[in-house]
Amino acid sequence: MSEAAGHHLSHGEFLELVLQDELVVRAERHMKRRVKAATVRKAKTLGDFDWSFNSSIKKKQVHDLATCQFVREAKDVLLLGPPGVGKSHLVQAIGCQAIKAGFDVLYRSIFDVVRDFLHEENLGEQDRLLKRYLKPDLLIIDDMGMKQLPKRSGEYLFEIIMRRYEARSTMMTSNRPLEDWGKLVGDLPAATAILDRFLHHAQILTITGKSYRLRNQKVQMPAETTASGES
């Protein structure tokens, strides 16, 4: 009321101001709920990303992905590169952009995926869980390749990829080359079938370079790492 009086607003202008404020508050609240439902580790943005650290990252390609056109076209995306080069930050930032654009998003690490299905298999609830993975417009599966997965992991992942193929978008990150996926899932036929469908319409971003987390440490990283954590 004081603002309206101080700026000599008409009744109509005052009402418009109140309604605009309410819409902004509702939009922010709605965004927080959707980010929480997406189970994103932390709301990341491309503006927070340190582009100067790694010149191998194609900035334009990442920003094109952030327009979410690939989600509208039900295409897939794969980010390949060693640990620490920013893959997790980028996919979460793109996921948040997709949420802002009105898409349903689900973010899970590969370990979350396997844990979910092993748990629900014991309870006989695989169909209910599968619906959760099939529903979102964009499914993000992070950290593929951190370590070898438990038995039957290839079956779970294949079911997800097969059912989402050409219907919904899936985005994945991996720190291991594609030829190693058979060993990772312990099932070469399943890995071949997964990649056959996933890569058919996929964009592949290959990122090289050193770990951003170790940028201030004088540490020589081994050629192959078995450490687990965010990629």
**What is the number of domains present in the chain?**
2
Q: Which two tokens stand for residue 219?
A: 């540490």
* Residue at 198 is within a domain: yes
**Is residue 134's pLDDT more than 70?**
yes
Backbone angles phi, psi at 43, to 5 degrees: -65, 105
**pLDDT tens figures, 26-84:** 777 776 777 776 777 777 888 888 888 888 898 999 999 999 999 999 999 999 999 88
CA within 13 Å, CB half, 8: 0
List, in sequence order, every residue forming a beta bridge with 141; answer none if it has no partner.
108, 172
Burial label, 10 (beta-carbon count in 10 A; 0-12, 13-18, 19+): exposed
* Residue at 132 is within a domain: yes
Task: Please tell me whether residues 60 and 173 are part of one structural domain.
Answer: yes
Q: How confident is the model over 165-192, as a mean pLDDT?
A: 92
217 vs 48 pLDDT, higher one = 48
Backbone angles phi, psi at 109, to 5 degrees: -75, 160
* Residue at 123 is within a domain: yes
Task: Please tell me whether residues 25 and 108 are part of one structural domain.
Answer: no
**Is residue 154's pLDDT more than 90?**
no
* Per-residue pLDDT band at 228 (split at 50, 70, 90): very low
Task: Please tell me whether residues 84 and 126 are part of one structural domain.
Answer: yes
Q: Rounded to whole angstroms, how far apart are CA atoms 121 and 109?
A: 18
Task: Please tell me whether residues 14 and 94 are part of one structural domain.
Answer: no
Task: Please tell me whether residues 82 and 31 are part of one structural domain.
Answer: no
* Residue at 228 is within a domain: no
Whole-number average pLDDT of the chain: 84
Look up the domain containing 117 and give its range: 42-206
List, in sequence order, every residue forming a beta bridge with 205; answer none if it has no partner.
79
* Per-residue pLDDT band at 105 (split at 50, 70, 90): very high
Task: Please tell me whether residues 51 and 33 are part of one structural domain.
Answer: no
Task: Please tell me whether residues 11 and 52 are part of one structural domain.
Answer: no
Check which CATH number belongs to the domain holding 56 and give it.
3.40.50.300
Task: Please tell me whether residues 11 and 116 are part of one structural domain.
Answer: no
Task: Please tell me whether residues 166 and 121 are part of one structural domain.
Answer: yes
CB contact at 8 A, 129 and 116 = yes
Which residues make Cβ contacts (< 8 Å) with residue 85, sequence separation at least 6?
A: 54, 56, 57, 207, 208, 209, 210, 211, 212, 231
Q: Rounded to whole angstroms, how far apart are CA atoms 206 and 83?
A: 12
Q: Rounded to whole angstroms, how far apart are CA atoms 49 and 27?
A: 24
